[in-house]
């Protein structure tokens, strides 16, 4: 059965790692908008260069561009057949609303790790956009904008919160349990 999941979590909550494991478990394509944007930036096109400046500053790329990217990706055959695990989208209320206009989703998982703990974790990561100003900007954006997207999906009854603290294997087990209870897989 194809699952259509959205994964929310502060940067550094372990979302990317868990998303990959969930993709293997549910045999669903991983859609990471951050990765797609980093690939676009690496190509060095005009759009890619503009994207890179925004990503490096820890700010959000425009909803308009993101919606084009996601609409295009959701139309691919692998997603049509295998569902998806969305990682890093939606990040704003407008993106969340638009997403529900494009597709149904089974569940949105909120991988909950408190602010102070993710700050500790992120300093060791070494990505180009992991300098202190960008980390702070991304966390602020999460609190001020992405939590509104999460609240919107919660009002639609789609959100389940999972404790993201602990060993990755334990967190993964919790995620699978929470997801299966929502999508009717035993």
Q: In the bound complex, what is the minimum distance in angstroms from residue 107's beta carbon to ligand AMP? A: 18
- In the complex with ligand AMP, the residue whose CB is nearer, 11 or 18, is 11
State the Cα–Cα distance between residues 107 and 123, nearest whole angstrom: 30
State the Cα–Cα distance between residues 171 and 62, nearest whole angstrom: 32
- In the complex with ligand AMP, the residue whose CB is nearer, 115 or 177, is 115
β-pair partners for 58: none
Which residue's CB atom is positioned nearest to ligand AMP? Answer: 34
Q: In the bound complex, what is the minimum distance in angstroms from residue 163's beta carbon to ligand AMP? A: 21
State the Cα–Cα distance between residues 158 and 91, nearest whole angstrom: 16
State the Cα–Cα distance between residues 133 and 123, nearest whole angstrom: 11
- In the complex with ligand AMP, the residue whose CB is nearer, 35 or 170, is 35
Q: In the bound complex, what is the minimum distance in angstroms from residue 137's beta carbon to ligand AMP? A: 8
- In the complex with ligand AMP, the residue whose CB is nearer, 6 or 162, is 6
Q: Which candidate, 73, 34, 63, 55, places its Cα nearest to that of 148?
A: 63
- Which residues of the chain form contacts with ligand AMP (CB under 6 A)? 11, 33-34, 37, 54-55, 58-61, 66, 88-91, 95, 138
Phi, psi of 79 (to 5 degrees): -75, -40
Q: In the bound complex, what is the minimum distance in angstroms from residue 184's beta carbon to ligand AMP? A: 28
């Amino acid at each position: 059965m194809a699952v259509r999941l959205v994964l929310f979590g502060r940067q550094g909550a372990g979302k990317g790692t868990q998303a990959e494991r969930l993709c293997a478990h549910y045999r669903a394509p991983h859609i990471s908008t951050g990765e797609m944007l980093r690939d676009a930036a690496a190509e060095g096109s005009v759009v890619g260069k503009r994207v890179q400046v925004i990503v490096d500053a820890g700010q959000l790329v425009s909803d308009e561009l993101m919606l084009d990217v996601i609409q295009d990706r959701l139309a691919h055959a692998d997603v049509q057949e295998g569902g998806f695990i969305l990682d890093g989208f939606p990040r704003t209320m407008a993106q969340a609303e638009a997403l529900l206009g494009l597709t149904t989703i089974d569940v949105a998982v909120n991988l909950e790790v408190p602010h102070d703990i993710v700050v500790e974790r992120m300093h060791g990561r070494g990505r180009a956009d992991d300098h202190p100003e960008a980390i702070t900007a991304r966390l602020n954006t999460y609190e001020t904008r992405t939590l509104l997207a999460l609240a919107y999906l919660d009002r639609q009854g789609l959100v389940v919160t999972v404790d993201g603290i602990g060993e990755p294997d334990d967190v993964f087990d919790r995620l699978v349990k929470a997801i299966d209870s929502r999508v009717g897989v035993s």
